[in-house]
Amino acid sequence: MSLLGCLAGLFSSPPPYLSLNEAQALPLNEFVNRSVESAPHFVSNPAESQSLVQIYQRHLQGQADLRSVTAGLFQTAQNVATTDADRQRLQWVHMLMDSTMNQVANLSQGPQYQQQPPMGGGGNANDHSSQQPPRKSNNNNNNNSHKKQGQQSFAAVVGQGHSQGTTEFHPAPTMAPATSGIKMATYFFPSEPNFKILLNTLNSARNSLDVCVFSLTDDDLANALIAAKKRGVQVRLISDDDQCSTLGSDVQRLGNDHGIPTRVDNNPSHMHHKFAIVDNQTLISGSYNWTKAARKSNRENIMITDSPDAVNGFRQEFNRLWQEYS
């Protein structure tokens, strides 16, 4: 019970009540949401708290990846936190819990783990330039339609968003084994908790932030680059020339109004990457365009890792494109 008790003490908003009968009927995702929100009602009642713990333990019996469940708990708690200080405390507790679980895995399961194979490095292993994926003809309103055809306005992109009555429970499992020393986590969208993790990762930049993204129309992400520039972080941005000229794109504004060095491809093919490198130590990469549609509507993914091979491979690609588009 110590975890929920610790989290409950951080929140000040009036909590809803969760009865034991209700709790028994809820699936895990909803039980987590409701119990975290209702914690101030029951944490001071040992009997009720223990009953809810038993319900939670029954849920855990069917879960193979407890690290994912823990990540989901913290994401839910961050969603109901009322201040930035609360969220930062939760983020720190999550880091401590993750470190503890790594240590436990090291002791109890370390011998069966195998280190992840290198990613990227010199780039040969990941060089798919000769592979041409089949083009999919469609009439949807995603940003990544064929170049110069059906470019979508920012208003249309924003209009695709939908509100969510409850927190989507998208846990982020750590994919790399603990003994490898490499951290790797996957996040799926739409999910506001996972968007906050993306935003927090960008906000963690202290020295450098290199962003290479096909489309950038989400003002919250653009503002993260502006804030990093104001903190003295060296920010560089690469984007697609057609996308940066569409209505709602933040690319030109970031360069012209905020002095962020920006380069675009200026050729008939797409600059279709979506990745960012934080402080030359952390890589963010996946299908996720930096748009409201990706955040709130589309099925998207990102991976965040500190793998030196992956970071080095993407850093080489960024620097190659930076020179090519000069």
Query: Residue 163 sits in a domain of what CATH number?
Result: 3.30.870.10
Conformational region of residue 33, where left means phi above 0, alpha means psi within -120 to 50, and beta covers everything else: alpha
Q: Domain containing 41: what range?
A: 2-108
**262, part of any domain:** yes
Same domain, 219 and 104: no
Are 158 and 301 found together in one domain?
yes
Q: Is the residue at 219 inside a domain?
A: yes
Would you give the distance in Å from CA 126 to the centre of its chain?
Answer: 23
Sign of the four-CA dihedral 111, 113, 117, 121: negative
Query: Do both 310 and 205 map to the same domain?
Result: yes
Cβ neighbours for 30, distance < 8 A, ≥ 6 positions apart = 166
- List, by residue number, the catalytic residues: 272, 274, 279
- Same domain for 92 and 184, yes or no, is no
- Whether the full predicted model's pTM is greater than 0.75, yes or no, is no
The domain boundary residue, chosen from 49, 79, 108: 108
159 and 103 in a single domain? The answer is no
β-sheet bridge partners, residue 210: 236, 277
In this structure, the answer to whether residues 282 and 192 fall within a common structural domain is: yes
Task: Give the CA count within 13 Å in the CB-facing half-sphere of 44.
Answer: 3
Residue ending a domain, choose from 87, 108, 129: 108
Provide the domain count of the chain.
Answer: 2
- Answer yes or no: are the C-beta atoms of 263 and 323 closer than 8 Å: no
- Nearest C-alpha neighbor of 23 from the set 4, 36, 8, 11: 36
Judge contact between 59 and 31, C-beta under 8 A: yes
Q: Same domain, yes or no, for 221 and 281?
A: yes
Asked if 202 and 287 sit in the same domain, the reply is: yes
Residues 36 and 164 in one domain: no
pLDDT one digit per residue (tens) for the chain, 326 residues: 445 555 545 444 455 778 888 888 888 778 877 887 777 777 677 777 778 888 877 877 766 566 667 767 777 776 767 776 776 666 666 666 666 666 555 554 433 333 333 333 333 333 333 344 444 333 333 444 333 333 322 222 222 333 333 334 444 444 444 446 788 999 999 999 999 999 999 999 999 999 999 999 999 999 999 999 999 999 999 999 999 888 889 999 999 999 999 999 988 899 999 999 999 999 999 999 999 999 999 999 999 999 999 999 999 999 999 999 99
Q: Looking at the domain assignment, is residue 148 inside a domain? A: no
